[in-house]
Amino acid sequence: MSRTPFLAGNWKMYKTGAEAVAFIEAAKPLLAGTSGRQAALGVPFTAIGEAATAAQGTGILIGAQNVHWEKEGAFTGEISVGMAKAAGASFVILGHSERRQYFGDTDEWVAKKLAAAVDGGIVPVVCLGESLAQRESGDTFKVLGAQIRGSLAGLTAERAAALILAYEPVWAIGTGKTATKEQAQEVHAFLRGELGTLLGDRAASETRILYGGSVKPDNVKALMGEPDIDGALVGGAALKPDSFVQIVKFDL
Ligand code: PEP
């Protein structure tokens, strides 16, 4: 089964709505006629509406970087799936290591947010990754095994159709240190095996697993050449239209 490459930017806390529009306007002609892949941008909540309008007809999906699991309620500062979707988001990044590290996101919360995203009809991009200390102490697979079981808890094969995973080793995010393609492939193959155990063969073969961690125009092609790497989640190198476009067009 072929898995359409998914090349996504994670803008973190960068760019206003106007800046998002300027980025998309600049990227649009550079991406014209590009097929066989899905380009996507996870933007700040405040930029979703303008970005989604600017992206119409470009094929670029616009998404959020977090959501709350409830539909509405007394949750000051939070945004529901329905709100993100109404603003123009068609996917959401869940469980990014910065959310886990600074804002208390746990596997249990990620599982609840994942369920809300599936219920609300937006694509969940669930991030997993080990720290440097965990890798150096030989715990990478133990940690990732627990994260995937916890973060996908309660998900059934029928509800996993839109699921995307992102392997983002924490030590490679924003550090300029990329996992080698062999290191990344080893983990992606492991995660695909875990998907098989949790959700069955079909989910294992159809779920796209993105790599994230200092992906750049000059290393994306080699990473994408690995059999179990189906895309990239990109921070710093997705903030400039030309470098984002080069990543989207990794093989062209
Ligand atoms: C990220 O934020 O998901 C990320 C991978 O960042 P960077 O590409 O800057 O390492």
On whether residue 15 sits in a domain, the answer given is yes
CA 221 to the chain's CA centroid: 18
How far apart are the CA of 36 and the centre of ligand 1, in A?
A: 23
Which residues contact residue 76 at a Cβ distance below 8 angstroms, ignoring those fewer than 6 apart? none
**Ligand 1 pocket test target in 102, 125, 214, 219 with most atoms within 8 Å of CB:** 214
Amino acid at 45: F
On whether residue 126 sits in a domain, the answer given is yes
How far apart are the CA of 228 and the centre of ligand 1, in A?
A: 19
- Residue 110: CB atoms within 10 Å: 25
Element (H, E) at 65: none
Which residues contact residue 111 at a Cβ distance below 8 angstroms, ignoring those fewer than 6 apart? 150, 151, 152, 153, 154, 155
CA dist., res. 246 & res. 252, Å (int):
9
How far apart are the CA of 72 and the centre of ligand 1, in A?
A: 30
Helix (H, G, I), strand (E, B) or coil at 128: strand
User: Exposure of 197 by Cβ count < 10 A (0-12 exposed, 13-18 middle, 19+ buried)?
Assistant: exposed
On whether residue 77 sits in a domain, the answer given is yes
Tell me which residues of the chain have a pLDDT lower than 70.
1
Any idea what the CATH number is for the domain that residue 167 is in?
A: 3.20.20.70
Tally of domains in the chain: 1
On whether residue 32 sits in a domain, the answer given is yes
CA distances from 90 to 26, 60, 62 (A): 21, 10, 6
On whether residue 161 sits in a domain, the answer given is yes
Beta strand 61-64 with 38-42 is parallel
- Residues flanking ligand 1, CB < 6 Å: 10, 168, 173-174, 212-215, 233-237
Give the pTM: 0.98
Residue 96 known to be catalytic: yes
Helix (H, G, I), strand (E, B) or coil at 37: coil
On whether residue 1 sits in a domain, the answer given is no
Q: Which domain holds residue 73?
A: 6-248
pLDDT digits (tens, 9 = 90+) for 152-205: 999 999 999 999 999 999 999 989 888 999 999 999 999 999 999 999 999 999
On whether residue 191 sits in a domain, the answer given is yes
pLDDT value of residue 132:
94
Kindly give the number of the ligand 1 atom that is closest to the alpha carbon of 237.
Answer: 8
On whether residue 183 sits in a domain, the answer given is yes
